[in-house]
């Protein structure tokens, strides 16, 4: 009898990560879903929430404390997965953060905000992948996912349609520039860097049978930017569940023909 696939979702206790857990738990296929959470208690709260919502799920849920900005935390998470499951079928590098608002509010210096953006969104995913790779290589059909952003394509910085005008419009001359409602400079740049990192992993693992993707879940009404879901919906954001369902489809192999690419629900996202 084939054992259930083991899936680790970093940042799985809230937002898009929790939507991934929810989507997978609704499937008839059983999974061992590991919710990665910086605070263990928040991961446990997420499990209780899902078990209450979907009591009929065939999947098992567990939580592991993992802070992708801490090597020691990642190493401890690897030890837990090794001892508990012995392999990892799917690693979803979902943990991410937007610090642009904190920079504008003066809560972080420019250097602090940019360094935290890249440390969380890029370096954290790089180190997490590197340390979990031996467990991925023990799986029969391993998948490695990096959650990117629809704001990351370089080509789209020239778009001025309704969806992109607020991001790409040039401000009036003078300094300092006025703040904007949805600042994304550091976040957007880090996700562009993440796309290149994914391409490097695709090259490195091409002969190891690991299917690698950058997954762009869409403009979702989550709490990522600290703006608030309702405000985000007013400017076009969609329900987070749509992103969770899309990632679930990638996990289940429905986009395997597009491995090595940045993908969204409509196809291949441009670079």
Active site residues: 149, 187, 191
Separation CA 147–CA 136 (nearest Å): 18
Q: For 81, what's the count of Cα atoms within 13 Å in the CB-facing half-sphere?
A: 35
The token duo for 115 is: 């360094």
178: how many CB neighbours lie within 10 A of its CB? 7
Separation CA 261–CA 267 (nearest Å): 10
The token duo for 254 is: 């429905």
Which residues have C-beta within 8 Å of that of residue 247, sequence separation ≥ 6? Answer: 16, 19, 20, 23, 92, 145, 147, 215, 217
Give the containing element (helix H, strand E) for 173: none
């Amino acid at each position: 009898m084939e054992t259930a696939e083991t899936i680790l979702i970093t940042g799985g206790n809230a937002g898009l990560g929790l939507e991934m857990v929810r989507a997978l738990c609704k499937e008839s296929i059983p999974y061992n879903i590991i919710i990665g959470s910086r605070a263990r208690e928040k991961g446990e709260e997420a499990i209780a929430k899902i078990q209450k919502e979907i009591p009929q799920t065939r999947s098992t849920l567990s939580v592991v404390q993992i802070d992708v900005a801490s090597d020691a935390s990642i190493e401890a998470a690897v030890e837990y997965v090794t001892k508990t499951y012995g392999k990892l079928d799917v690693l979803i590098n979902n943990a991410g953060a937007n610090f642009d608002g904190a920079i504008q509010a003066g809560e972080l210096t420019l250097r602090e905000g940019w360094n935290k953006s890249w440390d969380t969104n890029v370096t954290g995913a790089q180190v997490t992948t590197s340390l979990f790779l031996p467990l991925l290589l023990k799986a029969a059909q391993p998948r490695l996912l990096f959650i990117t952003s629809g704001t990351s394509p370089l080509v789209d910085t020239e778009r001025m349609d309704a969806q992109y005008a607020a991001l790409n419009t040039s401000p009036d001359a003078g300094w300092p520039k006025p703040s904007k409602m949805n600042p994304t400079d550091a976040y957007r740049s880090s996700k562009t860097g993440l796309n290149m990192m994914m391409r490097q992993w695709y090259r490195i693992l091409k002969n190891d049978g690991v299917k690698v993707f950058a997954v762009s879940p869409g403009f979702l009404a989550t709490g990522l930017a600290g703006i608030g879901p309702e405000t985000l919906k007013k400017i076009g954001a969609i329900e987070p569940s749509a992103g969770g369902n899309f990632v679930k489809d990638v996990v289940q192999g429905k986009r395997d023909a597009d491995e090595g690419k940045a993908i969204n629900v409509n196809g291949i996202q441009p670079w």
